[in-house]
Amino acid sequence: MNPIKTFPKGGVHPEENKLSSDQPIITFEIPKQVIIPLGQCLGAPAEPIVAKGDKVKVGQLIATAKGFISANVHSSVSGTVNKIDEVMDHTGYRKPAIFIDVEGDEWLEGIDTSDTLVKDITLTKEEIVERIKQHGIVGLGGATFPTYVKLMIPQGKKAEYVIINAAECEPYLTCDNRLLIEKPYEFLVGVKVIMKAVDAPKGVVGIEVNKIEAAKKLDEIVKSDKYFEGIEIQPLKTKYPQGGEKQIIKSITGREVPSGKLPIETGCVVVNVASTFAIYEAVQKNKPLVYRVVTVTGKSVKKPSNFLTRIGTPANLLIEAAGGLPEDTANLINGGPMMGKSVSVTTFPTIKGTSGILMLNEKDAQPRKVSNCIRCGKCMQACPMGLEPYLLNRLARQNNFEETEKHNIMDCIECGSCEFTCPANIPLADYIRYGKTRTGQIIRSRNQK
């Protein structure tokens, strides 16, 4: 394997806590009812095209994308639409969703549900991008940005590298690691599909060295099978946020994405592991995005697990299957501890972006006593974007958005490294996120004038 690489600026080393990394993926039983939220991507919620009483099959389109940065939504089960109503989702707000009562498990005609590996990529690059769009594939690392948009290379630009973000640098999460170990061929064909879609000669899988079993397995396959020529496995140092888009590009290519620009400026397209697997299934098996692997974990959880879960499965069922909600749970998180968001109900439906359900115990979730900034500069050293978090925090609190913009708040990737490292326990990321949202609004309204 290649020598280990990393990004040079900032980063932190939180406890890894990969409690479920040895737990094979378990196909979770189909629930009696799924609740499929219409808003499952970064952009506008999809528009329902079914109504109460309609019969649906697995993989059937039930809501269509509304706008450029929006994604189609498909039924993850077969059965009858019970209602279209609001549900308290992972954001803690009531949002529209399609409730489907499950009857059997009948898939839409034309979807290949077999385990046969399909290596021949017969679709043209335009057809691949269109299939990925139609089948509702979004960034499954949590960002939920529609993947087809990433694969539309602007005129005058060239994709040299497809970089697969297999860092899985968030503590606790192991869903990507398990997919790589258990479905390496499907995953690697997915990489070839993306390379064809964007016409890139090279594919690089960037993987942290704490996932050595997966890295070795992938390396053996790409070196022993000519079909995978052009793909290499790049071990990366275990350092958070190694999986940040800009960080992984820097680690692998040494190139820097300029402030306010997209990865394609550096000739790179970055896709997450689970999305790559979903792309394989969409393009080679004609299967829309109807399930994903979800890590259900926590130090007090009896059976930390990785479940292959139909989209819309209520989280409480997964929690039960992992041994139930531990009594000392102080914080329930959708995602990992660094970038995930706290959830107020256990019944929220899992969505495409649900990579993990984390139950942090009282000891780990205990709020730490906040004191005044001691100007130690540790937050600056930890910031992978070279920002001044103590300053951005102060400016955001003062609602001084002219200055937050001047100090590049829009470059913040919301990784939380500054907050993690702050000895005064100042909730830096919260204020900076607020400042970024407000500054972004001001910039957008200025650009519209």
369 binds ligand SF4 (CB under 6 A): no
Q: Is the CB of 273 or the CB of 426 nearer to ligand SF4?
A: 426
Are 416 and 402 in contact by the 8 Å Cβ rule? The answer is no
Both tokens assigned to 102: 């499950």
Q: Is the CB of 278 or the CB of 385 nearer to ligand SF4?
A: 385
Give 224's contacts (C-beta < 8 A, 6+ positions apart).
none
226 binds ligand SF4 (CB under 6 A): no
Pairing mode, strands 202-208 and 161-166: parallel
Cis peptide before 337 (omega within 30 of 0): no
- Which of 24-32, 323-331, 352-360, 374-382 is the region at the interface with ligand SF4 (rule: CB under 6 A)? 374-382
Q: Which residues pair with 233 in a beta bridge?
A: 205
CB of 377 to ligand SF4, least distance (A): 5
143 binds ligand SF4 (CB under 6 A): no
Give 217's contacts (C-beta < 8 A, 6+ positions apart).
180, 181, 184
**What DSSP designation does 282 have?**
H
383 binds ligand SF4 (CB under 6 A): yes
CB of 208 to ligand SF4, least distance (A): 18
Q: Tell me the one-letter amino acid at 338.
A: M
Pairing mode, strands 329-334 and 356-361: antiparallel
Both tokens assigned to 139: 């960034």
* Of positions 139, 146, 171, 416, contacts ligand SF4 by CB under 6 A: 416
412 binds ligand SF4 (CB under 6 A): yes
Q: Tell me the one-letter amino acid at 403.
A: E
Q: How many residues bind ligand SF4 (CB under 6 A)?
A: 27
Q: Is the CB of 132 or the CB of 387 nearer to ligand SF4?
A: 387
Are 271 and 132 in contact by the 8 Å Cβ rule? The answer is no
- CA-CA distances (angstroms) from residue 158 to 40, 125, 149, 197? 30, 14, 15, 12
| Helices 389-397 and 428-448, packing angle to 10 deg | 70
382 binds ligand SF4 (CB under 6 A): yes
288 binds ligand SF4 (CB under 6 A): no
339 binds ligand SF4 (CB under 6 A): no
Q: Is the CB of 65 or the CB of 387 nearer to ligand SF4?
A: 387
Give 253's contacts (C-beta < 8 A, 6+ positions apart).
161, 163, 266, 267, 268
The contact mask relative to ligand SF4 for 384-403 (x = CB under 6 A, - = no) is: -x-x-xx-------------
Q: Is the CB of 72 or the CB of 393 nearer to ligand SF4?
A: 393
* Of positions 414, 430, 438, 440, contacts ligand SF4 by CB under 6 A: 414
Show contacts with ligand SF4 in window 172-191 (CB under 6 A). none
Q: Is the CB of 179 or the CB of 418 nearer to ligand SF4?
A: 418
Q: What residues make contact with ligand SF4 under the rule CB under 6 A?
A: 373-379, 382-383, 385, 387, 389-390, 412-418, 422-424, 426, 428-429, 432
